[in-house]
Structures are given as structure tokens and as C-alpha cells.
Amino acid sequence: MDTTTTAAAPSTGEAVLDAEVLRGRLEALAASEGVRRWDLGASCSTDTSVQVDRGEAKQMKGAQRSAITLRVWNEDGLVGITSTSDLSDDGLARALAGARDASAYGNVDEVPDFSPLATAPLPQLDQPLSAPLSILTLLDTLKQAERDLLGRHPAIGTVPYNGLAQRSSDRLYINSNGACRQQRLSTASLYLYARAEEAGRKPRSAGAVRLAYGAAGLDVAGCVQEAAERTISHLDYAPIVTGRYTCVFSPEAFLDLIGAFSSMFNARAVLDGVSLSRRDSLGEQLAVPFLSLADNGLHPANVGASAFDGEGTPTRRLSLLEGGVLRHFLHSEATARAFGVPPTGHAGMGAKVSVGPDWFEIGPTPGSDAGATGLDRFGSGTRGEDRGLVVIDSLSALHAGVKASQGSFSLPFDGWLVEDGSPRSIEAATVAGDIRTVLKGIVGFEGPAKVTPDGLCPHVWVEGLSITGDA
């Protein structure tokens, strides 16, 4: 059996699923049901979370969850799929029978197969397993974090959105062709979103998040400090004049924007005709020649990294843009077969398998001089424009304001207008444009790449974006 952690599980975090035992049971049950070809993806987790409100517990939750997806191929090669949370022999037998019966109605135009890499060696991940803390310890930690954040500025009156959660989980993939994958993982997250308000002024909000392999490893102080600094920085706000500006995207904002248009790199979206890219787009210059972008779910900073995808394909680093040129698409087994390439480890599981990115790495192309632009974060940086520089800290309404298949976006944002080296928060504004124009309008990067929950990215300078304000 392939396993992916390098640390032994503590006694309080033992795996709930055992892939080898489950495979043996499924082989026997499949034989009794007359099923010859099948695969299964499963996850099982124990979750604990707390929320607080002004020093009191708002919510305390604990849950054990199991989710199993089972696919069966019939004699005609068609696939049926079913889901269950019942791991008993009776439950698995019903799931096998249900998937077998459903296979008679399988889509002849969408017939997934086993990944040819489902039995390939897995990467070894350094993911230490941590024993969960008691829910009362989580509650006390979050209460203290809320108190600390409220005490950072008189205007911070509440922390309306907050949460501290921990999870111990197992993922596995098994098929009738000998694949048997299992990964054990413990993770924790902290989220603090503060709300500040001064007399006669509009409320202002901002937040921060931290991830770790266990609740005891969370950077609580850093999360409080970042949430406070970001919230306080937006108190002194003013309207902005509508116009075109050079913009600096924070790492979080630029990663959000790229993620909203990730269908450009998605082979499933390409085949379905809902991507800006086409089958023959590989090799096209999509961005400035000093931009490189990769999907690297194996990056050491990616807490929660998966060693394999929903089809058992090993995760790997995949270069998407090299020197601004589109080099690869994200693939499942089916899309890879259609393109005549190996699967890349980005598949979900289903009768029609989904494809999605893991964790982006964005930055200057190795060997280019774009990594040291010499641009001063709060300098004029307007490249001939006289309206000032706009720093985009965070984007909102990504699901409503993005037309991924067309490339356009119009998104509210929080940020600052920098004039004469002095930043001032923007009262309310939207940034609009086309992702293709953005990628070709990048003028440089600033500072070291920052690790975020979604990837690794420096500040990104883009010229000529349309900003709509209230002034």
C-alpha cells in the first residue's frame, strides 16, 4: 500500500480507514455482486471547531464524517457511480449494486478509465501528524485572540467572523487493478475578520488567516497582528476618481484573480468549450515574457497537500506558463487521453471527472530581471500617469463579477491610493478589465514571494486598469 506521511500517527489521531482492509472487503463483495471492474475514493475526518462573539462561545462543533464514492464499469464499458457514508459490508454491497445498476445508463460520450499512473510511486510528503487539542482549549485560544484583536484599536468593536478549527483525516483511493493509496493528515486553521467604526464614518473590515498541521502550531499572534494592521489601515479613507491606474495587486488578490480564471489552464474546460484556451493554444504567448506560473501542490508551504488526486494519480509540480508561454494544461485521465499526454494529478472523481488546480506558484521567469523591478511599494510608480498608484489588497464578489469563459471581470476591492508616497484607503471602488490584458500588462514584481493559503506570489504591478470610484 502507498502511504504518504513521514511521521507516525499519535494515539489520538489514528486513521479511521484502513485501505488494505477496505480493499480486501471490496474485492470479496464485488465478486459476490458480479462486479469485475471498480474503483473507490473515500475520505474520513474528525473535525472540531469553535466560534466566539464578544468573549462568549458562539458555536462549538465536533463531527465525524465519511464520504465514499464508488464507480463500477459494466461489461459494455459504461460507468455507474454512487455515493455512500455507510462503511459496513451491507452498505458497501448496496453501493456496489447501485453503481452496477446505474452503469446501464452510463454516458457513452464520457467513459473514464483507470489512471495509468494509479500504481506509480507517490511523492513523500513531510506532514507531521498532531494530536488534536480539546475543544475547551480551542475555545480559550480563540477568546484570547478576539480579546487581543479588540484591544488593538478603539475603533475595532467586533470580530464578527472568526473561527478556530482542527481536523484529522484520511484519504484513500483503491481500484480493482491493484491501486491502493492512503494519506493521513492533520490540519488546523484560524480566521479573524475584524470590524472597525468611527463616529460619522463608515464601518471598515479586514481579516487574516493562518494554517498549520495542528492547532498548537498556529501563529495566533501573527494572525491577530495582520488582522489589526489591515483593519486599521482602512480607517482613514477617501473616494477615488474614476480612471485608469497602475495597480499593485497583493499576493492574495492576484492569486484570487488567477484562480477565478484557472479554466485557461483546465483541459476539461477546454474540451467543454468553456475556456479562453483551445486545444491548439499550447505554445501561445499569453503573458509578458518574464512571468512564470506553475501549479505545485507539493510545495512544502502547502499545508494540506495531497499526494494523489481523485483517480490515484500522483501529485506533481506542473509548469503552466513559462516566460509567459502556455506550456501545459491540467489533466484528468480522460482529458489526458484525449490530448495524448499523461494525466497530471488534478482530477476529482465522478462519472464525468472534474479537473482543478492545487496551489499556484507565481513569479518572475528564472533568469529574467523582473524579480528586481526597483519599484518602490509606496513610491509614485505611475509610469507617466498622474492619478496615483492603486494598491489592491483584496478582491470581492469573485463568483458574481468574473466571466471566466469571456475573460472579463469587474470586482469590488479594498485597497489604497498612493499619492506622493502616502497611502490612503479607498472608500469604495471596483477594478475592471480582461485577464488577457492583465497578463500582458504586468510591468514587474515587488518583494519576495509571500506564502498564502492559495499559493506563492509576490506583489504584482499591472498598468492601465480601469478603476471606478465614487468621486
Helix (H) / strand (E) containing 270: helix 267-272
Q: What is the pLDDT of residue 2?
A: 60
Cell 469573485 belongs to: 398
Q: Are residues 219 and 325 in the same domain?
A: no
Calpha distance 240→429 (Å, rounded): 7
| Same-domain check for residues 218 and 256 | no
- Which domain does 47 fall in, by range? 2-230
Question: Identity (one letter) of the amino acid at 119?
Answer: T
Number of domains in the chain: 2
Last residue of one domain, picked from the residues 173, 196, 230: 230
How far is it, in rounded angstroms, from Cα 453 to Cα 359? 8
Q: Are residues 151 and 287 located together in one domain of the fold? A: no
Residues 264 and 214 in one domain: no
Q: For the stretch 128-149, what's the b/e string if a residue is b when 16 or more beta carbons lie within 10 angstroms of its beta carbon?
A: ebbebbebeebbebbbebbebb
Question: How high is the pLDDT of residue 6?
Answer: 37
Residue that terminates a domain, selected from 230, 263, 278: 230
pLDDT at 154: 96
Q: What is the mean pLDDT of the chain?
A: 92
The CATH code of the domain that includes 101 is 3.30.2290.10
pLDDT in tens, 336-362: 999 999 999 999 987 679 999 999 999
**Same-domain check for residues 19 and 86:** yes
Please tell me the distance from the alpha carbon of residue 214 to that of residue 304, in angstroms, as a whole number: 11
Residues 383 and 313 in one domain: yes
Q: Which of 230, 261, 292 is the last residue of a domain?
A: 230
Return the pLDDT at 384.
37
pLDDT digits (tens, 9 = 90+) for 230-262: 999 999 999 999 999 999 999 999 999 999 999
Please give the Cα distance from 412 to 428 (Å, whole number): 8
Report in angstroms the alpha-carbon separations of 427 from 297, 412, 464, 471: 36, 11, 21, 10
470 and 390 housed in the same domain: yes
